Each structure stands twice: as structure tokens, then as C-alpha cells.
Amino acid sequence: MSARKIINSWFVDIRFNRARIRKKSPENSKNGAQAYEAVLRRKLARGESIEEEKKEEICSFKDFTEKWLLNYVNGRNKPSEQRQKKIILNVHLIPFFGKMPIDKISSLKIEEYKSAKMKQGLANKTINNQLAVLGKCLHTAEEWEILKKAPKIKLFKVPPQKFDFLSINESQQLLNSAKGIWREMILIALKTGLRLGEITALDWSDVNIGNKLLTVRRSLVRNIMVSPKSNKIRYVPLTDEVCRSLNMRVQKKGFLFTDDNGQPLKAECVRRTLHRICGQADLRIVGWHTLRHTFASHLAEAGASIKAIQELLGHSDIKTTMRYAHLSPSALQETVKLLEPKRDFQTILGQYMGNEEKVKVKNVHNTALKLYNT
């Protein structure tokens, strides 16, 4: 018999070209083995291979992330972004998904991950940051044809991020308590909105006092010089006050702000110094990013357009800039007023003609004309 049962499994046992072929039936029954034999004989008659193609094993999530970090993240992201992704993977994602085959990560598993992180007390925004890394990782697997389709990931809805900023009086208090290069750095932060890394990376070649223009072309992050966060060079106009301050010690080249060895200032040193100056000014302790918020907030309060603020801050997405929109209610009110209907001269005149017995026609005309012109 070509189809035979050996112990508890059915096999096909045939001869072809004086060679014996024995294969286990995919369906463990006599009928299944006989059907399998027919398939094998047809393939042999057509000269086709009867060897089953070995299925390529799907790698685990942990193994894939190693390839992803090496071939994708390290080549496209800045050092600070690489570090952040590695932390999220090693601390959060790999402990949960690490041993799982990457094609077994489903929307259900992702929801289970979200629930687990919520039970740990993590904020929705923090979990969203982790999901963003997971999503990018899985979509890359799809692009590399390791996954047929990446699962859908639903992010948590989070309220608009709150931010602090100094009033005009508080800003002046801070400046009055600072001296030397520290005053210049604070002044630049308040009047240009540059990030701390962009300020510490400034070179005198970036400053054009004659044209009152500052070129932002690099940023110093963890002692590594990189491009600005938006990856674009931007130009920020300088106020007269900033120009006068810098003009007192202008040079042709070299960093604007350095330590005693002529090296760029370390971020931690700069943060501690700002905290000390806040204490001297009798203000709450704020960070350098608060000064960036202050710049944008003062512009919004003065009626600057959101688009202009976006360009000055170097935001790639205007949604980030929209957090300042509520600070310019007067500008919004003036815009809505454009919808108010204009009063017609004849309408106004007719309203007054109803009281003609009290007012002379000539006076009615003059009054209506005056109202119309206003």
C-alpha cells in the first residue's frame, strides 16, 4: 500500500525512478494520505519538485528592533532622538513585546500594552510617545516586507499641553538681575525664541548686526553639534536692544557664549545659572524653554499672526504653534467683527424720520450722516 499508517501517523510510501519516497501526510487520515499521494504523483509526472518550501521564520520583536535601530534609526535620527528611542524600546516595549514574533503583534496586543501602562500610572502623553515608536517600528517592518500590514494603533486623546511664560514685568525683572553673557543669553532667548541648544551653538558668523538678522543653523545637544530640531536653517530678526548688547563685544568668528576654556557652555551649567538668577530676581524657578514660550506668548498678545510665530520658532507643524492662539483674543474679536452688517444710510435716516415731529429734517439728515460715517 502506498498510504500506510505508522504508529499514529499516516504516510505516503511510493517509488519513483528506483528511489523510495516516504512523506508524512498533511492530513492525518487514510483518505488524506491517498489524496496527498495523488498530488505527489502528479508533481513527479510533471517533473516538479515535491520538496516543501521552507517557510522563513518571522523574527521576534526584539530581534527586529536591533535591525531597525542599526539600519533605520541610526541613519535618520539625531543622537538625542536615537537615545530616546533606545530608552523607550529597552525600558517599555521590549519587556512586553520582545519575545513575540513581530507578525503576532495585533491591535488587541497593543490595547493590552496600553492597559498595562495605565495600571503602572503612566500619563497618556507618555504612553502615546511609546506607541509612536512602536508604530514607526512596525510600519518599517511593513516597508521592508517583513509584515504584510502593520496593525492599527489608536493613541490616547490628551488635553493641550500647558506651558508657563513670564509677563513683561517679570521678563524685565529677570534681565535686571542678570549680568554679562548671562544677560545676553537671557535677552536673546526672550527676544528671539531660540532653544537652549541653538543659543549655546551660536557662532559670531551667525550674527549680522548690520542687517539685524540672526541665522539659526545648528544646535548643541548633549555636547553633540546637530542641525536645528526642524532640520531647516531659519532666520530671526534682531531687536535694537539685542543688537546694542551684542555690538559691545562683536567678533568675526567663534562661539558667542563660552566657558573659561573657550568651549561652548554645558547645558547643565546654563540651567543652574538661570535658576540662580531667578532666585535673585525673586521669581519662580523657570527653565530656558519658558523663555521661548515667553517670546511666542508676547508676540501672540501683541497680535502677531500664528503663521509668523511658527516661522520664527521653527515649528514644522503649525499645530504646535496653535497653543499660543488663545493669547490674542483681541485679534480674533476684530476678525469676527468683519461679519457685522454695515448699516445703510437710508435705513438710519428712516429710523429718525419716525420722530420727525421732534427733530427737524435737516438735523435728522446731519445726524444720520454722522452715524453713517462712524
All cell numbers assigned to 77: 535620527
- Mean per-residue pLDDT for 362-372? 58
Q: Where are the alpha helices (DSSP H) in 205-360?
A: 240-247, 267-280, 288-301, 306-313, 318-321, 329-336, 345-353
pLDDT of 334 > 90? The answer is no
Distance CA 129, CA 155 (A): 9
Tell me the β-bridge partners of 226: 219
pLDDT (tens digit per residue) in 136-150: 999 999 999 999 999
| Fold held by 61-143 | DNA polymerase; domain 1 (1.10.150)
pLDDT for 55 equals 52
CA dihedral 42→46→51→56, nearest 10 degrees, is: -110
Which element (helix H / strand E) includes 247? Answer: helix 240-247
Residues in Cβ contact with 143 at an 8 Å cutoff, skipping those fewer than 6 apart = none
Q: Could you give the strand order of the β-sheet that contains 234-237, starting from the edge strand earlier in sequence? A: 207-208, 213-216, 234-237
Using DSSP bridges, classify how beta strands 9-16 and 3-6 pair: parallel, antiparallel or unpaired: antiparallel
Q: How confident is the model at residue 54 (pLDDT cuts 50, 70, 90)?
A: low
Burial annotation 9-31 (CB, 10 A radius, 16+ → b, else e): ebbbeeeeeeeebebebeeeeee
Cβ proximity of 215 and 238 under 8 Å: no
The C-alpha angle 364, 370, 374, rounded to 5 degrees, equals 145
Q: Report the chain's mean pLDDT, rounded to a whole number.
A: 88
Most confident among 6-10, 67-71, 301-305 (mean pLDDT):
67-71
pLDDT (tens digit per residue) in 148-175: 999 999 999 988 778 999 999 999 999 9
Q: CATH: 1.10.443.10, 3.90.1150.10, 3.40.50.2020, 1.10.3720.10. Which one for 168-330?
A: 1.10.443.10
pLDDT for 358 equals 45
pTM of the model: 0.69
Residues in Cβ contact with 96 at an 8 Å cutoff, skipping those fewer than 6 apart = 113, 116
pLDDT for 328 equals 75
pLDDT for 306 equals 92
Q: How confident is the model at residue 83 (pLDDT cuts 50, 70, 90)?
A: very high
Residue 355: helix, strand or coil by DSSP?
coil
The residues spanned by each domain of the chain are 3-45, 61-143, 168-330, 341-374
Please tell me which residue, 340 or 277, carries the higher pLDDT value: 277
pLDDT (tens digit per residue) in 253-284: 899 999 988 899 999 999 999 999 999 999 99
